[in-house]
Amino acid sequence: MDFYDTAGSAPCRSVIMTAKALGLNLNKKPMNLMAGEHMKPEYLKLNPQHTIPTLVDNGFPLWESRAIMVYLAEKYGKDDTLKCPKRKAVINQCDPELYKKIESAFDLLNTFLEGHKYVAGDALTLPDLSILATASTFEVAGFDFSKYANMAKWHANVKKSAPGADENWEGCL
């Protein structure tokens, strides 16, 4: 199995630990996001969302760490240790609730940004820097900002213009 990852990524590390727990060997293919390797056509064919991590199992590409972890446990788990239905139910009931909270926060931010270039108006402020750090973490985790048009536009702008944005990005990896 080919596993496209990046050093330091918590989602990538969670998949690696899952594979180890299942006795699986991953053919790691480190991606240099700063060099844009995740935007190359050959990678985009595997993962059009260009997120990390991505697993390719016998030609089947899959991204999003939790989806990969569940897939590996269900396909390769030799016993029920990692795929116990009761444990899975508890996990599944928690994840959607947390995801709803994230979506709610991004929806509020999207509203805040209506008609503004930055969070507090038309100039970069501390909230922009704070929110950029959080949003970048979610970007690395594969969160789709596209349904939040104002936020997606803000995020693209602040990623390029904020002082230290490159260091912020490196810290996410």
From the candidates 9, 14, 104, 136, give the one annotated as an active-site residue: 9
9 is catalytic: yes
Cα separation, 173 vs 168, in Å, equals 9
Distance CA 85, CA 81 (A): 10
Return the DSSP state at 4: E
Amino acid sitting at position 22: L
Handedness of CA 118, 120, 126, 130 (dihedral sign): negative
Strand partners, 63: 54
Q: Which residues contact 116 (CB under 8 A, 6 or more apart)?
A: 122
Catalytic residues: 9
